């Protein structure tokens, strides 16, 4: 079950080597994103597109807000 | 959207998945930098004066008044130990003669904006409400600084000028 996390938690996990994934469409990602985030839009999120992620390390996903 | 993405990742086989549900809006509203093509100068956070006088609820108004005037300000934000904004001393309180506590003299719960607010919207609001300054806080209510109307209007004029120049150069090429 995915774990909800707040901003402090994000910063702590990033310091420990977590991977950050923005799941919004590409244009919104290019407009603004969290430092170091990669973009995998929700519509394209599949096994092939996630090969670039290390499954041994934590993955943090986010979008714009509680939508 | 991110909860569905988090569950999707788990279905693919990832076991350590975290969902930052408050997302990009929360990050920006805390004044933490974002990356991307959007110019951060268009946001309130790029134009803050962070050197703002502050005081505590139990300070005496007389001593606060002297410090604020010496520093050249006509307003002072009332904060607690966590820098959470509890109130504001405006011009009227700071020019009065009463020696009471800050808590007795302050206006409680002043309006604030987030650093992620677009600068043009902040300026429009300051003009509409005839404000000379606007406190800027994080989403938790922590003081980040003060947006001064003169500074904001000047920055907006420069942004609009640069934007017009870019458009003109684009139409010539």
Instruction: Give the A-side interface with B, CB within 8 Å.
Output: 1-7, 9-10, 13, 18, 21-24, 29-37, 42, 45-47, 50, 53, 55, 57-67
Helix (H) or strand (E) holding B5: helix B2-12
Report residue B110 as tokens. 């002043």
Overall residue count recorded for chain B in this entry: 173
Cα separation, B60 vs B155, whole angstroms: 36
What local confidence, expressed as pLDDT, does residue A67 receive?
60
Give tens-digit pLDDT for B68-120.
Answer: 999 999 999 999 999 999 999 999 899 877 789 999 999 999 999 988 889 99
What value of ipTM does the predicted structure carry? Answer: 0.96
SS3 for B114?
coil
- pLDDT tops 80 at residue A47: yes
Say which of B5, B6, B21 has its CB closest to residue A66.
B21
| pLDDT, tens digit, 9 for 90 and up, residues B34-44 | 888 876 788 89
**Average pLDDT score over chain A:** 93
In Å, how far is B120's CA from the nearest CA of chain A? Answer: 18
Is A23–B1 a contact, with Cβ atoms under 8 angstroms apart?
Answer: yes
Q: Which of B8, B12, B30 sits opposite A7 (nearest CB)?
A: B30
């Amino acid at each position: 079950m995915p774990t909800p996390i707040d901003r402090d938690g994000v910063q702590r996990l990033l310091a420990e080597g977590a991977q950050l994934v923005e799941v919004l469409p590409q244009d919104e990602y290019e407009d603004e994103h969290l430092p170091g985030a990669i973009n995998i839009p929700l519509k394209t999120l599949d096994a092939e597109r996630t090969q670039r992620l290390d499954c041994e390390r934590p993955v943090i996903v986010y979008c714009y807000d509680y939508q | 959207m991110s909860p569905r993405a988090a569950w999707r990742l788990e279905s693919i086989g990832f076991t350590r998945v975290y969902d930052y549900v408050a997302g990009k809006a929360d990050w920006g509203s805390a004044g933490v930098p974002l990356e991307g093509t959007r110019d951060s100068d268009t946001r309130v956070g790029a134009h803050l004066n962070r050197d703002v006088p502050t005081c505590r609820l139990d300070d005496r108004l007389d001593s606060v008044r002297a410090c604020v005037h010496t520093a050249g300000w006509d307003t002072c934000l009332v904060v607690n130990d966590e820098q959470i904004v509890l109130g504001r001393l405006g011009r009227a309180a700071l020019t009065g003669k009463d020696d009471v506590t800050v808590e007795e003299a302050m206006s409680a719960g002043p309006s604030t904006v987030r650093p992620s607010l677009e600068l043009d919207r902040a300026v429009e609001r300051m003009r509409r409400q005839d404000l000379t300054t606007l406190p800027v806080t994080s989403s938790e209510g922590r003081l980040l600084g003060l947006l001064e109307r003169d500074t904001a209007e000047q920055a907006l004029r420069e942004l609009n000028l640069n934007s017009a120049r870019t458009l003109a150069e684009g139409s010539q090429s």
